[in-house]
Amino acid sequence: MLLFIDYEKTIIKKNPASFVPNKKIPIYNWFYYKEGFSRDLVIDLIKKFNIKKNQIILDPFCGSGTTLVASRETGINSIGFDVLDIAFFASVVKTRDYSNVLDELKKTLQEIKNTPKKKEKIRIKEKIILKAFPDRILSELLYLKQNIKKIKNKIIRDFFLLCLINTSTKTTLAIKDGGCIKIDKSRHLPPVKYMFVKLAKKMINDIDCTRFGKAETQVFKKDTRIFRLKENSIDCVITSPPYLNKIEYANVYFIEEYLFLKKKLHSSLRSFIGKNYEKISEKMKNENLKDLLDDFIGKPNESIIVAYFIDIFKSLENMYFCLKKNKYCAIVIGGGCFDFGVVQTDVIVSKIAEIIGFKIMEIMPLRKIICTKNRTKKIGVVNESLLILKKN
């Protein structure tokens, strides 16, 4: 078996499956995505897989675009999909080439800075939004949004909109706590315009100081379970799907999506993967998959677990289809915690990958996750792992 990266030694100090190290890295930190993984993990994998400049990396669950930005950084072409508007938007803005519009960005920031302060009438009825911001802050955010909407150049407009979204996360009483939003009235909130200008200056400075290689990035708002790229067209997949029963993305990013991207709350609060449960016998044509998931039939949370793995199956099939022969697919995945016990997702996903035709090169534990009930009673321990698969 091939040992790709010796994370065993570094796990404790620095978890490569965490977004936290990206908080200090220009461009990667333009939008804080709690569910993201680290830039260093992607860069390590690009080196180990020996991906060359004219090749293409796919991240079919691109989130805030870590794989795509790291690909750009190393001059490699990449493609990303995500179903969530905020993730798609952040990925697009973070991977654009701003070299021709730098002066325009600076000029526009100056204009926004010089715009006199005015209050925008609050017409929002959504309770969670009204609770998340004191009126004066919400009114200022909405006024800035109106000004940004008037910017004609879409690239400039999107850039400042992402900056405003970022500003809103620093001027809110709302905290993303696990799968839900909590209000912390004791939070100290900085003035909106001050924060916006500070962040915009930093973002512009990031562009000024960053020299990325020439590479093409394409981001699509697509469902990985359904969307297929051309057969044998991709040189590498680096990705991390939603974890079983873990984060309710649509719920957690509701404030940003509703306020700035005009989105309604998704009909289901559950993450997209695992949303649609259909009877296993009707849906599962693959006998091996049926056998693998048989253990969960009739157990508590059957519907969530089975739907999740069926969706993982569909997504992996699509990844396999577009990956070239003898090329690698790296997947970061964490296990599932339930009141009845734990589900070792890394093991099951690698078995699903084998059914599809992948060769398992490595299942590398990155971190242990302790599962608790009501945050106190320990239920069990699951791994967050890096799976390395190869298309035969």
Ligand X SMILES: C[S@@+](CC[C@H](N)C(=O)[O-])C[C@H]1O[C@@H](n2cnc3c(N)ncnc32)[C@H](O)[C@@H]1O
Contact window for ligand X (CB under 6 A) among 177-185, 193-201, 270-278, 280-288: 270-278
Local structure of 218: helix, strand or coil: strand
For ligand X, the closer of residues 202 and 221 by Cβ is 221
Contact between 320 and 356 under an 8 Å Cβ cutoff? The reply is: yes
For ligand X, the closer of residues 47 and 136 by Cβ is 47
Question: Contact with ligand X (CB under 6 A): which of 5, 51, 63, 235?
Answer: 63
CA-based nearest residue to 234, from 213, 223, 218: 218
Residue with tokens 């967050």: 384
CA distance 39 to 72: 11
313 binds ligand X (CB under 6 A): no
For ligand X, the closer of residues 36 and 335 by Cβ is 36
Residue 377 CB coordination number (10 Å): 9
Query: 77-81 and 56-59: which strand pairing?
Result: parallel
Question: Contact with ligand X (CB under 6 A): which of 15, 18, 29, 66?
Answer: 66
Give me the least distance between CB of 207 and ligand X, in Å please. 20
Question: Contact with ligand X (CB under 6 A): which of 143, 212, 249, 320?
Answer: 249
CA distance 75 to 78: 9
39 binds ligand X (CB under 6 A): no
Contact between 315 and 331 under an 8 Å Cβ cutoff? The reply is: no
Beta bridge partners of 237: 58, 329
Question: Contact with ligand X (CB under 6 A): which of 82, 140, 248, 384?
Answer: 82
Contact window for ligand X (CB under 6 A) among 60-68, 143-151, 211-219, 262-270: 60-68
CA distance 28 to 32: 8
CA distance 265 to 385: 31
For ligand X, the closer of residues 140 and 257 by Cβ is 257
Q: Segment 180-239, which members bind ligand X (CB under 6 A)?
A: 223-225
- Spatial CB neighbours of 333, under 8 Å, sequence gap ≥ 6: 240, 241, 243, 345, 346, 349, 384, 385, 387
For ligand X, the closer of residues 81 and 133 by Cβ is 81
Give me the least distance between CB of 107 and ligand X, in Å please. 31
For ligand X, the closer of residues 108 and 251 by Cβ is 251
83 binds ligand X (CB under 6 A): yes
Question: Contact with ligand X (CB under 6 A): which of 51, 87, 141, 389?
Answer: 87
Residue 23 CB coordination number (10 Å): 10
Give me the least distance between CB of 50 and ligand X, in Å please. 21
For ligand X, the closer of residues 158 and 208 by Cβ is 158
308 binds ligand X (CB under 6 A): no
